[in-house]
Amino acid sequence: MKISIIPKFLILLLICFVLSFKSIAQIAKTQVIQTQVQVNNASITINWKALTFSGNYFIRKRINLSDNNWGSTIATLPSTATSFTDTAIKKGKAAEYQIIASNGSSAIALGYVYAGNEFTEVLSRGGILLLIDSNYLTPLSSSILRLKRDLTLEGWDVAITYAGRQQTPINVKKNIINQVANAGFKINTMFIIGHVPVPYSGDFSNNGSVFPPDGHVEGSGNHTGAWPADVYYADLDTFWTDLFADIVTGADNRNHNVPGDGKFDQAKLSTDAELEVGRVDLFNMPLFGLSDTILVKNYLDRNHAWRTGNVIARKQALIDNNFPGLNLASTAYHNFSTFFNTDSIFDNLDFITEQSNSSFLWSFGCGAGSYTSCAGIGNTSSFVNTTIKNVFTILSGSFFGDWDVKNNFLKAPLCNQSLASFWGGIPKWYIHTMGLGKHIGYGTKISQNNTNFYFNGSFNLSDNSVHIALMGDPTLMNAHLPQVTGLNATSNLNKVFLSWNKAKDGYGYCVYRINKSNGYVFKLACLIDTFYTDNINFVSGIYDYTVRITELEQTGSGSYFNVGGGEKVSVNHLNSVKEIVPLKSNVYPNPTNSNLNILSDYEIRKILILDLQGRIISIYETKTIDVTHLKFGLYQLMIEYKDGLKETHKVQITN
Domain ranges of the chain: 8-119, 126-472, 488-573, 586-653
pLDDT digits (tens, 9 = 90+) for 515-557: 776 666 778 889 999 999 998 887 888 899 999 999 999 999 9
448: phi then psi, degrees, rounded to nearest 5: -70, -40
Q: What is the pTM of this model?
A: 0.85
Amino acid identity, residue 35? T
**Residue 13's beta-bridge partner residues?**
none
| pLDDT higher than 90, residue 468 | yes
| pLDDT higher than 50, residue 12 | no
Mean pLDDT of 13-36: 59
pLDDT at 4: 29
pLDDT at 623: 87
| pLDDT higher than 50, residue 25 | no
Mean pLDDT of 193-197: 98
CATH number for the domain whose boundaries are 488-573: 2.60.40.10
pLDDT at 295: 98
| pLDDT higher than 60, residue 447 | yes
Mean pLDDT of 616-629: 88
User: Among 275-284, 546-555, 572-581, which is the least confidently predicted range?
Assistant: 572-581
**Residue 45's beta-bridge partner residues?**
38, 85
pLDDT at 21: 39
pLDDT at 72: 93
- Cα separation, 70 vs 48, whole angstroms: 20
Map 291-354 to HEC letters. Answer: CHHHHHHHHHHHHHHHHCCCCCCCCCEEEEECCCCCCCCHHHHHHHHHHCCHHHEECCCCHHHH
pLDDT digits (tens, 9 = 90+) for 313-354: 999 999 999 999 899 999 999 999 999 999 999 999 999 999
Mean pLDDT of 471-485: 96
Mean pLDDT of 297-319: 95
CATH 2.60.40.10 fits 8-119, yes or no: yes
pLDDT at 306: 96
pLDDT at 333: 97
Mean pLDDT of 487-511: 93
Mean pLDDT of 364-378: 97
pLDDT at 592: 85
Which of 629 and 406 is assigned the larger pLDDT? 406
User: Among 65-74, 331-340, 356-365, which is the least confidently predicted range?
Assistant: 65-74
| pLDDT higher than 80, residue 628 | yes
Which are the contacts of 8, defined by CB distance < 8 A and separation ≥ 6?
Answer: none
| pLDDT higher than 60, residue 134 | yes
Confidence label for 458 from pLDDT (cuts 50, 70 and 90): confident
pLDDT at 578: 52
Confidence label for 655 from pLDDT (cuts 50, 70 and 90): low
Mean pLDDT of 557-584: 81
- Cα separation, 305 vs 482, whole angstroms: 9
Cβ atoms of residues 247 and 240 within 8 Å: no
Which are the contacts of 348, defined by CB distance < 8 A and separation ≥ 6?
Answer: none
- Cα separation, 197 vs 200, whole angstroms: 10
Would you say the CATH fold of 586-653 matches that of 488-573? yes
Residue 10 to residues 16, 102, 105, 235, 452, Cα–Cα distance (Å) = 10, 12, 12, 28, 11
Closest Cα to residue 575, out of 533, 532, 538? 538
Mean pLDDT of 554-581: 86
**Residue 551's beta-bridge partner residues?**
562
pLDDT at 157: 93
Amino acid identity, residue 102? S
Helix 292-307 and helix 141-153: axis angle, to 10°? 20
| pLDDT higher than 90, residue 575 | no
Q: Residue 42 CB: number of other CB atoms within 10 A?
A: 12
- Cα separation, 432 vs 424, whole angstroms: 13
Cβ atoms of residues 507 and 544 within 8 Å: no
Which of 423 and 597 is assigned the larger pLDDT? 423
| % of the chain surpassing 70 pLDDT | 94
Confidence label for 41 from pLDDT (cuts 50, 70 and 90): confident
CATH number for the domain whose boundaries are 586-653: 2.60.40.10
* Secondary structure class of 127 (helix, strand, coil): strand
| pLDDT higher than 90, residue 127 | yes
- Cα separation, 592 vs 239, whole angstroms: 37
Mean pLDDT of 458-479: 95
- Cα separation, 91 vs 177, whole angstroms: 40
Confidence label for 648 from pLDDT (cuts 50, 70 and 90): confident
| pLDDT higher than 70, residue 102 | yes
Q: What is the mean pLDDT of the chain?
A: 91
pLDDT at 520: 66
Mean pLDDT of 414-439: 97
